[in-house]
Structure 1
Amino acid sequence: MEDDPHVKVMMAGSILRKVKSRSWKKNRHFRLLEDGLTIWYKSKWVGKGHATFSVTDLEAVREGHQSEVLLNIAEEFPAELCFTLVFHGRQGTLDLVAESPEEAQAWIQGVRKLIHKAQTMDEKERLDQWVRDWFHKADKNKDGKMNFKEVKTLLKMMNVDMNEDHALHLFTMADKPESGSLEIEEFVHFYKMLTQRDEVWKVFQDYSEDGEKLMLEELENFLQTEQHEGEQSSQHAQELIDRYEPSESAKKQGTMSLDGFQMYLCSQEGSIFKPEHQDLYQDMSRPLSHYFISSSHNTYLLEDQLRGQSSLEAYIQALKRGCRCVEIDCWDGGDGEPVVYHGHTLTSKIFFKDVISTLKEYAFKASEFPVILSLENHCGVEQQAVMAQYLTQILGDMLQTTLLDGQVPQQLPSPQELKGKILLKAKKIGGLEECLDETLTDEGSDEEEMANGDAEMESKQKSNMARELSDLVIYCKSVHFHGFEHARSHAKCYEMSSFSESKAKRLAKEAGTDFVQYNSRQLSRTYPSGLRTDSSNYNPQDMWNVGCQIVALNFQTAGLEMDLNDGLFGQNGCCGYVLKPDFMSDGNTQFNPEKPEEWEGYKPLRLSIQVISGQQLPKVNQKEGSIVDPLVRVEIYGVPQDQAREETGYINNNGFNPVWNETLNFTIHTPELALVRFVVEDYDKASRNDFIGQYTLPFTCIQTGYRHIHLLSKDGTAIPPSSLFVNVSISELT
């Protein structure tokens, strides 16, 4: 890539203006370092102070005025000079202004190419890159060499606590020219010897007759016996050799070396997640009420709901994560402009029209399936009319404002039929029936509503609701919940109610079957309690157990609850829609999550997980000498009977290649609803354990056999090459 003209400009370096606000704009010298992955920057005036970040930390580059900060200074700097670097997870953004359009383009295109290259690396390149990054980090005098003392310090930084004699022996072997120091290639070789994995070698030995290589039929035997692959294993064995075997001569002979075997096990195909469930694999032509829908609460917030910052960036981040239901809290603003913020608090305000423009741009980048716009409307009639105008003008055809086939539906349309559409969820004057038959007088529609017991509310609504806004609500009319009995006899499929977490939990416990049946016909939304001022989350599993589709979470708050959300929606192409199990879509279902064994389709399974080893776990405590004491906990989330956790013992002082070899067993009563979460923690007997990494996936997406689990950070972003090596088996309860 060094010959690429854009990358050349980056390597030569540029003065770019770093912008934090209208008043904070400072020149910084930015350049791409020789490794092609590290961007270095410093202020011209500060002596030695500089900062760096890696291209692998970046998720995207946005051109022009695409952040609040740059929109704020749009009149000062034209769009062709501006761009925003977006970091993964919750690391935020960096707004920059170049001195010329050419220079801005060089950085925009150059960073994009480097991000693409980093994303398309295979496991081997990624591991090499990771080792090189550490080498550069530790090479304090930048002479490209490391003596044994420096290597020992580096190993400590990498979480390796090892026998000094053994390390010295390997160091001497890697130091071919006997110079007393290792250059980067030699260090990579040293590292590979250091990470030879006995536990993988043992599995390899079990299937290799000569202990050197796996013949095609030996690999096939392994795939059938251990990985539980059926008929397709012979063709698959050949594909794996072609894909992962580094030695050309072994490839020609149709054999696999230990290196190739380890690379296969560490690849996506060797991961615990079924590859065929990564893509869109579910039927998308069922009614909306038959799907779980990834949903966000207070989407505009980046932090807590008392003093946090309201931001367009928060909408972009949620939509890019596959979120399909976003929330907008609207209030009357000055100059007739509706604003979005958390009312009666100190959270900052953003314009409603800017939120809608952001939605238009980002709604369908991660998924083509419909987005539901949940409107918390606190505006007066005048500004509601302004909102309606913005929705129709900005979104145009994207906004679903008519019935699909001109008929009042008996069931909701499907995600497939609503592809590329935005649905407004809000209160509505009257029902869809009246929209079709405008000849009905207002009194007539009121009488009809009276049967629903909502007449009084309806007429009150008419006076404080703009007809223009009401008319935009088609398939998601917000109504008050009057109980399951009332819903059975009166409710329309396009009506939906919202439940606070405590009410939803109570109903799930008292009337599980009724709630499941209700959710098979119409949508329901649940949201966190107003007491959660720190924007913490409730456990979404309780709501999914009764089939609630729109379980709204604070996407801005990392932790267990968002791990579960990411885990459930990590399947089906991350499109934000996951088909509910069939027994939850049947209006006459007798399923009750509180008593799964009474349901006729009850088929419990046994899950057995042998936790074998861990690889390159990140340090938690950055103190020079500290090394983690890791343990692994497996947690099951599902119907109440399935909630369980088991953990291994901890390993003293080894975050590098801890070996546990412990088996954890579980009984899963309702496999279709269960999520499995693997958590790695640093054991601490004096205080709470520190979090190291986690990975969560649906039970139905698990591949059995010898598998790697690629760990994620608290933010849900990858932390390569950290992983766990496990052997998973699933069997019927006899």
Structure 2
Amino acid sequence: MLHGTQLWKIKPGWRQQRLYRLESDGMTIWYQSRAKKARSKQIFSILHIESVREGHQSEGLRRNGRRFPESCCFSISFMGRRKNLDLAAGSEQEAHSWVQGLRKLMERAIAMSQREKLHIWIRDYLHQADRDGDEKMSFQEVKDMLRMINIDMNDIYAYTLFKKCDRSNTDRLEDHEIEEFCTQLMYRPELEEIFHQYSGEDRVLSAEELQEFLHHQGEEATLERAREIIHKYELNEKAKQHDLMMQEGFMMYLLSVEGDIFNEKHRKVYQDMTQPLSHYFISSSHNTYLTNHQLVGTSSTESYIRAFMDGCRCVELDCWEGTNGEPVIYHGRTFTSKILFKDVIATIKHYAFKYSPYPVILSIENHCGLEQQVTMAHHLRTILGDMLVTQPLGDQDPPHLPSPEALRGKILVKGKKLSERRLAEDEEGKARMVSGEHMVMFWYMWGTG
């Protein structure tokens, strides 16, 4: 990775070979195309990677990467709305090396200190804002950086701060000047007030004073715990040796996971999961298939993967009549693109339980006729197999819904059960649409309020 590898970047109807290389910092991937005009700013940080998938596991590679062996392909998924990066290597060994290397770097990033992450985060945005790649920052580039990190700063104040840090008087910030600007940018007067409240006139926090602060925050902290925090987050080595904390170290602690108001123990399921399903709030997604605009946007199976990664347990499938007898999913009567129902079900099968073992509910908005409803039921049964709940668990007429614990690894289809009167009124043959043979219904939902 440090020497660089020629990889194919694959997009719909297009592919191009580029040199991809890991920078010496071990946290930045740099890439270069053959076009000179495209050589600048083509980097991304390991911190922005959500996951790395081997083979044709992305929609882009399934559609456009068939000319490359699956063992040579991999996809990089990013946090936020950035599209996947679909790549193909020249050999299976090269692809495997990049996949394993990226995963190890992601593990390393998770284990990094708050200061290291902050340093890389700042440098990443500086790279993006540095338009001409001269490693110096003009005022316009500084304004671009502020916009990237969502800081709405008055131009006069920003320019005053810029000139204050431009000690070389070149209208460009260099090296330590950029670092000073970022330090000034992060100045928090309310944090300084809190620090001075506990540190007193000497403006240095002792282990005893830090313990007092922790007690006032409702933490059962011992003096030993206060010393551990100092040794973990203090930046000044001399202060650390004397169990003292400066303001910068105090800020690093407050910015860390340990200083987060969120209870770290709650990042994992800690509630009782044996109550009836109707006793829980369920994280749900609307128009799950869309990647952007709901009138002209793109539908993608990738959207279901992202929903599951975000903890969603109920996803929506808007089903419409498709060509060749295959139902499709899209935002009906709009210009959004269409994806096959069976492709969505296959994606759900592979990713529904990668990030949570608890049940997934398919909320189907059905606009298909009887024939394609039969096709839908066939795909649900054949693709999902034993994952799909098609009959009661245990008792034939249970008094309550089963619990999330009892439904671990199971997929439920949410639908409506028609009344006997409605069934009798239907035309001959239409009753088959709700029969167990053809259409799988989420039998738990009706009658539960």
TM-score by length of 1: 0.53
Closer, same or farther in 2 for the Cα pair 1:315/1:239, shift >3 Å?
A: same
Closer, same or farther in 2 for the Cα pair 1:151/1:374, shift >3 Å?
A: closer
Tell me the residue number matched to 1:269.
258
Given the alignment, which residue of 158, 161, 173 partners 2:159?
161
Tell me the residue number matched to 1:384.
373
Q: What per-residue deviation string (whole Å, max 9, x for no partner) do you get for residues 507-548 of structure 1? A: xxxxxxxxxxxxxxx3xxxxxxxxxxxxxxxxxxxxxxxxxx
Closer, same or farther in 2 for the Cα pair 1:218/1:358, shift >3 Å?
A: same
Closer, same or farther in 2 for the Cα pair 1:399/1:212, shift >3 Å?
A: same
**Are 1:371 and 1:423, in contact at CA under 8 Å, matched by a contact in 2?**
yes
Tell me the residue number matched to 1:54.
44
**Are 2:8 and 2:18, in contact at CA under 8 Å, matched by a contact in 1?**
yes
Tell me the residue number matched to 2:8.
17
Closer, same or farther in 2 for the Cα pair 1:347/1:143, shift >3 Å?
A: closer
Amino acid of the residue matched to residue 161 of structure 1? Y
Amino acid of the residue matched to residue 29 of structure 1? L
Give me the whole-angstrom Cα distance separating, in 2, the residues matched to 1:382 and 1:135.
57
Give me the whole-angstrom Cα distance separating, in 1, the residues matched to 2:323 and 2:125.
53
Identity level (%)? 47
Q: What per-residue deviation string (whole Å, max 9, x for no partner) do you get for residues 626-665 of structure 1? A: xxxxxxxxxxxxxxxxxxxxxxxxxxxxxxxxxxxxxxxx
Q: What per-residue deviation string (whole Å, max 9, x for no partner) do you get for residues 213-248 of structure 1? A: 3223222222233x2x15446565344334323445
Tell me the residue number matched to 1:93.
84
Report deviation, 1:189: 6.7
**Are 1:13 and 1:31, in contact at CA under 8 Å, matched by a contact in 2?**
yes
Tell me the residue number matched to 1:31.
21
**Are 2:433 and 2:439, in contact at CA under 8 Å, matched by a contact in 1?**
no
Give me the whole-angstrom Cα distance separating, in 2, the residues matched to 1:252 and 1:79.
54
Match runs of 1:340-489 below 5 Å: 340-428=329-417, 446=420, 450=421, 456=425, 462-471=431-440, 473-477=442-446
Report deviation, 1:122: 2.4
Report deviation, 1:472: 5.0
Give me the whole-angstrom Cα distance separating, in 1, the residues matched to 2:59 and 2:129.
37
Amino acid of the residue matched to residue 36 of structure 1? G
**Are 1:300 and 1:315, in contact at CA under 8 Å, matched by a contact in 2?**
yes
Give me the whole-angstrom Cα distance separating, in 1, the residues matched to 2:332 and 2:125.
47
Report deviation, 1:258: 2.5
Report deviation, 1:124: 0.6
Give me the whole-angstrom Cα distance separating, in 2, the residues matched to 1:126 and 1:380.
54
Closer, same or farther in 2 for the Cα pair 1:346/1:157, shift >3 Å?
A: closer
Give me the whole-angstrom Cα distance separating, in 1, the residues matched to 2:113 and 2:298.
38
Give me the whole-angstrom Cα distance separating, in 1, the residues matched to 2:333 and 2:125.
48
Match runs of 1:253-652 below 5 Å: 253-428=242-417, 446=420, 450=421, 456=425, 462-471=431-440, 473-477=442-446, 492-493=447-448, 522=449
Amino acid of the residue matched to residue 468 of structure 1? E
1:124 aligns with 2:93: no
Closer, same or farther in 2 for the Cα pair 1:236/1:454, shift >3 Å?
A: farther
Unmatched 5+ residue regions in structure 1?
A: 1-6, 173-180, 431-445, 478-491, 494-521, 523-734
**Are 1:83 and 1:97, in contact at CA under 8 Å, matched by a contact in 2?**
yes
**Are 2:52 and 2:75, in contact at CA under 8 Å, matched by a contact in 1?**
yes
1:219 aligns with 2:210: yes
Give me the whole-angstrom Cα distance separating, in 2, the residues matched to 1:354 and 1:134.
37
Closer, same or farther in 2 for the Cα pair 1:69/1:193, shift >3 Å?
A: closer
Closer, same or farther in 2 for the Cα pair 1:69/1:220, shift >3 Å?
A: closer
Unmatched 5+ residue regions in structure 2?
A: 147-157
Q: How many residues align?
A: 434
Closer, same or farther in 2 for the Cα pair 1:385/1:232, shift >3 Å?
A: same
Closer, same or farther in 2 for the Cα pair 1:383/1:201, shift >3 Å?
A: closer
Give me the whole-angstrom Cα distance separating, in 1, the residues matched to 2:129 and 2:64.
40
Report deviation, 1:143: 7.5
Closer, same or farther in 2 for the Cα pair 1:278/1:245, shift >3 Å?
A: same
Amino acid of the residue matched to residue 90 of structure 1? R
Amino acid of the residue matched to residue 167 of structure 1? C
1:106 aligns with 2:106: no
**Are 1:27 and 1:43, in contact at CA under 8 Å, matched by a contact in 2?**
yes
**Are 2:319 and 2:367, in contact at CA under 8 Å, matched by a contact in 1?**
yes
Aligned to 2:394, what secondary structure does the other structure show? Answer: coil
1:72 aligns with 2:70: no
Question: When you count helix as a share of all residues, which structure comes out higher?
Answer: 2
Closer, same or farther in 2 for the Cα pair 1:248/1:340, shift >3 Å?
A: same
Closer, same or farther in 2 for the Cα pair 1:259/1:361, shift >3 Å?
A: same
Amino acid of the residue matched to residue 96 of structure 1? L
Give me the whole-angstrom Cα distance separating, in 2, the residues matched to 1:333 and 1:168.
62
Aligned to 1:17, what secondary structure does the other structure show? Answer: strand
**Are 1:155 and 1:161, in contact at CA under 8 Å, matched by a contact in 2?**
no
Amino acid of the residue matched to residue 385 of structure 1? V
Q: What per-residue deviation string (whole Å, max 9, x for no partner) do you get for residues 70-113 of structure 1? A: 21245422211222222221111222222222222232223333
Amino acid of the residue matched to residue 14 of structure 2? W
Tell me the residue number matched to 2:152.
none
Report deviation, 1:190: 7.5
Give me the whole-angstrom Cα distance separating, in 2, the residues matched to 1:57 and 1:368.
25
Closer, same or farther in 2 for the Cα pair 1:385/1:466, shift >3 Å?
A: farther
| Farther off after superposition, 33-42 or 156-165 | 156-165
Amino acid of the residue matched to residue 29 of structure 2? I
Q: What per-residue deviation string (whole Å, max 9, x for no partner) do you get for residues 582-613 of structure 1? A: xxxxxxxxxxxxxxxxxxxxxxxxxxxxxxxx
Report deviation, 1:253: 4.2
Tell me the residue number matched to 2:74.
83
Closer, same or farther in 2 for the Cα pair 1:121/1:153, shift >3 Å?
A: farther
Given the alignment, which residue of 227, 234, 245 partners 1:245?
234
Aligned to 2:87, what secondary structure does the other structure show? Answer: strand
Closer, same or farther in 2 for the Cα pair 1:209/1:330, shift >3 Å?
A: closer
Amino acid of the residue matched to residue 20 of structure 1? K
Closer, same or farther in 2 for the Cα pair 1:90/1:134, shift >3 Å?
A: closer
**Are 2:233 and 2:249, in contact at CA under 8 Å, matched by a contact in 1?**
yes
Higher RCO (C-alpha under 8 Å, 6+ residues apart) = 1
Tell me the residue number matched to 1:203.
194
**Are 2:374 and 2:438, in contact at CA under 8 Å, matched by a contact in 1?**
yes
**Are 1:241 and 1:254, in contact at CA under 8 Å, matched by a contact in 2?**
yes
Amino acid of the residue matched to residue 287 of structure 1? P
Match runs of 1:653-732 below 5 Å: none
Amino acid of the residue matched to residue 108 of structure 1? V
Q: What per-residue deviation string (whole Å, max 9, x for no partner) do you get for residues 285-327 of structure 1? A: 2222122211112222223343332211111111111111111
Amino acid of the residue matched to residue 314 of structure 1? S
Question: When you count strand as a share of all residues, which structure comes out higher?
Answer: 1
Report deviation, 1:192: 4.3
Report deviation, 1:196: 5.5
Give me the whole-angstrom Cα distance separating, in 2, the residues matched to 1:306 and 1:133.
34
**Are 1:131 and 1:188, in contact at CA under 8 Å, matched by a contact in 2?**
no
**Are 1:425 and 1:473, in contact at CA under 8 Å, matched by a contact in 2?**
yes
Give me the whole-angstrom Cα distance separating, in 2, the residues matched to 1:106 and 1:194.
39
**Are 1:15 and 1:98, in contact at CA under 8 Å, matched by a contact in 2?**
yes
Aligned to 1:30, what secondary structure does the other structure show? Answer: strand
